């Protein structure tokens, strides 16, 4: 960030306290689990250059933290929200300061002009009659004119300071947005299954808990469909794990196209997947499960060695009053086991 115009003498440079506030807000908002942020000595914050360098150092450190603590991105996002709130507040302070200073100078200049006009009228009346008095009045008028010029110059310098601070805040906001986007990508990576692109078990546990709590609170239906591919090990044994990966990717894409955008699909095992169906009762969940079963069974996956036909077995369960998420998952898992035992390529529902 640029060095602010600290040499202007009309008012103390506003940049230093503003940036100091920003630095302290960052330091206070960093969770202890991230470790201590870079230290900055009080002496280094006495001028705008020191504050700017300290702010840049802290932002660089935050970027490093987002790499090291990708699994704690929720806390990082809270830091960014705090930081952006401080920047927004400083923007408001700058705006109010600019408006105040311009208003003050305009009023002062208007008053000076009115006084000068009166003095000139007096001079016109006494010039040549009271030479000493006239000279004193000319001196006062000259001082008022000089003061007006100084006020205008000081206001221009102050406005330049405010513009510099505004530019610095814009740079800070851009840097924060860059680090925040980087953290979001890390969060997405930490919650996504790298092979299929759907959510992973960690993401499922969090979302399932949220949806269960919401359904319980608002007395809305919630269903779970749990499925895995039948005899998937045979595909790996016959064609290799790379072919097995291609099968999983193809079938996950196919299933995702059969569900609603609000449904949450996650991979919770090797070839085991789950779909959380908000606002869905047991009968509708059975329809969704049958769509998945039929969609997988009706379309073979083309591999380099030829097409491979697979089927899937599914277990369905709907949330019961007072039930916990773990209990609902267990009932869906039991239904899946019954589907396997009954011959595979079928969906079983547990309504108990």
| Paired strand residues for 264 | 276
With a CB cutoff of 8 Å and minimum separation 6, the contacts of 20 are 45, 51
Q: How many CB atoms lie within 10 A of CB 315?
A: 26
Q: Which of 271, 272, 290, 334 is catalytic?
A: 271
As a whole number of Å, the end-to-end CA separation of the chain is 64
| CA angle (134 as vertex; 130, 135 as ends), nearest 5 | 120
Which residue in 204, 343, 202 sits closest to 264, CA to CA?
A: 204
With a CB cutoff of 8 Å and minimum separation 6, the contacts of 183 are 66, 70, 73, 76, 77, 80
Environment class of residue 32 by beta-carbon count within 10 Å: exposed (0-12), middle (13-18) or buried (19+)? exposed
**In angstroms, what is the C-alpha Rg of the chain?**
35
To the query of whether residue 272 is one of the catalytic residues in this protein, the response is no
Query: Would you put residue 265 in left (φ > 0), alpha (ψ -120 to 50) or beta?
Result: beta
Q: What are phi and psi of 323, to 5 degrees?
A: -80, 150
- Cα separation, 172 vs 42, whole angstroms: 21
* 97, 200 Cβ separation under 8 angstroms: no
Q: For residue 258, give the DSSP letter.
A: T
* 51, 82 Cβ separation under 8 angstroms: no
Q: Which residues are catalytic?
A: 271
């Amino acid at each position: 960030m640029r060095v602010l115009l600290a040499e202007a003498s009309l008012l103390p440079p506003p940049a230093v306290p503003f940036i100091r506030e920003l630095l302290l807000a960052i330091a206070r908002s960093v969770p202890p689990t991230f470790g201590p942020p870079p230290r900055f000595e009080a002496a280094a914050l006495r001028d705008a250059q020191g504050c700017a360098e300290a702010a840049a150092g802290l932002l660089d450190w935050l970027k490093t933290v987002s790499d090291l603590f990708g699994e704690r991105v929720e806390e990082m996002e809270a830091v960014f929200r705090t930081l952006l709130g401080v920047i927004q507040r400083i923007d408001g302070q700058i705006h109010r300061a600019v408006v105040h200073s311009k208003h003050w100078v305009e009023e002062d200049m208007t008053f000076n002009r009115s006084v000068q006009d009166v003095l000139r009228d007096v001079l016109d009346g006494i010039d040549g009659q009271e030479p000493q008095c006239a000279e004193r009045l000319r001196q006062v008028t000259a001082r008022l004119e000089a003061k007006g010029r100084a006020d205008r110059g000081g206001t221009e310098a102050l406005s330049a300071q405010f513009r510099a601070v505004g530019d610095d805040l814009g740079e800070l906001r851009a840097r924060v947005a860059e680090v925040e986007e980087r953290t979001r990508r890390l969060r997405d990576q930490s919650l996504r299954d790298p092979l299929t692109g759907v959510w992973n078990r960690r993401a499922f546990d969090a979302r399932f808990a949220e949806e269960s709590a919401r359904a319980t609170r608002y007395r809305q239906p919630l269903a779970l469909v749990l499925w895995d591919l039948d005899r998937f090990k045979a595909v790996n044994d016959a064609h290799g794990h790379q072919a097995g990966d291609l099968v999983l990717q193809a079938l996950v894409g196919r299933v995702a196209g059969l569900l609603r955008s609000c449904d949450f699909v996650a991979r919770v095992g090797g070839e085991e997947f789950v779909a959380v169906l908000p606002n869905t009762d047991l009968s509708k969940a059975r329809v969704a499960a049958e769509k998945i079963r039929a969609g997988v069974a009706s379309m073979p996956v083309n591999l380099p060695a030829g097409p491979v036909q697979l089927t899937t077995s599914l277990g369905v369960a709907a949330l019961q009053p007072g039930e916990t998420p773990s209990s609902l998952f267990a009932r869906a898992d039991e239904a899946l086991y019954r589907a396997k035992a009954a011959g595979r390529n079928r969906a079983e529902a547990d309504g108990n």
